Copies of this chain bind each other. A is one copy, B any other.
Amino acid sequence: MSMQDTASSGVALWRLVADGIERGIADGRFAAGDKLPGEMEIAETYRVNRHTVRRALAALAERGLVRAERGSGTYVEAQKLAYPLRSRTRFSEIVGAEGREPHGRLIEATDDVATRELARELGLKVGAPLVRIEAIRLADRTPICVSTTWLSADLFPNAGAVFAATRSMTKLLEHFGVRDYRRGATRITAGIVDATDAARLDLALGRPILVVDATDHDLTGKPLVTKHSRFAAERVEFLVES
């Protein structure tokens, strides 16, 4: 399984190893605190050079998923993010409650116009000007989800610039005078990650994602923003209230 003797797939070997280990962590073969097999042993199971394994482990350590201890071994650090789905849902609060550090990063903010579906969700007319924000959210250094968010360009002028500065949807809404908001009906489906999102989420091609569509309303019920989010299924666990 070297790059030299097989047709290249366009995915680096170290990435395949890293994804394999992460999958082992995600599905519980390696629990939090467990010691991973030695670098030599991993290299043998994947039939790869030890340095390639080290590259993979370094990538996982960079994201805080594992921690290497010289002379002893490499240990699993993290676990799935428990993500409760309530009407009052704030990414930063959920991540902070787990003792992890939430981050947000703007990928792109562009102008858009309302399709029929978007217009219905936001209570606007078809063709109304919108701001479309592509953003990624992380817990510590692990990407959790990418979201596409649409807001009315009339109600929230320069929303993209404000989000880039605050890195938080909650703070963006505060900036426009929205003190509180609630999440409306949430639709959850699943799919396979595409290449673009895979790169953004640092996720292997072909891995499952949870797709969440939701619209946030203010306390009077007026739609504020509608979102289309893709979560790395192996890094998160949705909790629905009973």
Contacts and interface: CB of A to CB of B under 8 A. Distances in A.
Interface of A: 8-12, 14-16, 18-20, 23, 59, 194-196, 198-199, 202, 205
A194 B19 contact: yes
Contacts of A16: 195-196, 199
14 contacts: A8-B12, A9-B15, A9-B198, A10-B11, A10-B18, A11-B11, A11-B15, A11-B195, A11-B205, A15-B195, A16-B199, A19-B194, A19-B205, A23-B194
A199 B20 contact: no
A59 B195 CA distance: 15
B10 A15 contact: yes
Closest 4 CB pairs of A and B: A10-B15, A19-B195, A10-B12, A16-B195
Number of copies: 2
Contacts of A195: 11, 15-16, 19-20, 23
A232 to B, nearest CB: 14
B10 A14 contact: yes
Contacts of A12: 8, 10-12
A184 B105 CA distance: 36
Contacts of A11: 10-12, 15, 195, 198-199, 205
Given A16-B196, A20-B196, A23-B194, 5 more contacts: A9-B199, A10-B11, A11-B199, A11-B205, A16-B195
Nearest to A19: B195
Contacts of A19: 194-195, 205
Nearest to A12: B10
A45 B10 CA distance: 20
Nearest to A62: B7
Contacts of A9: 15, 198-199, 202
Contacts of A194: 19, 23
A9 B23 CA distance: 17
Contacts of A202: 9
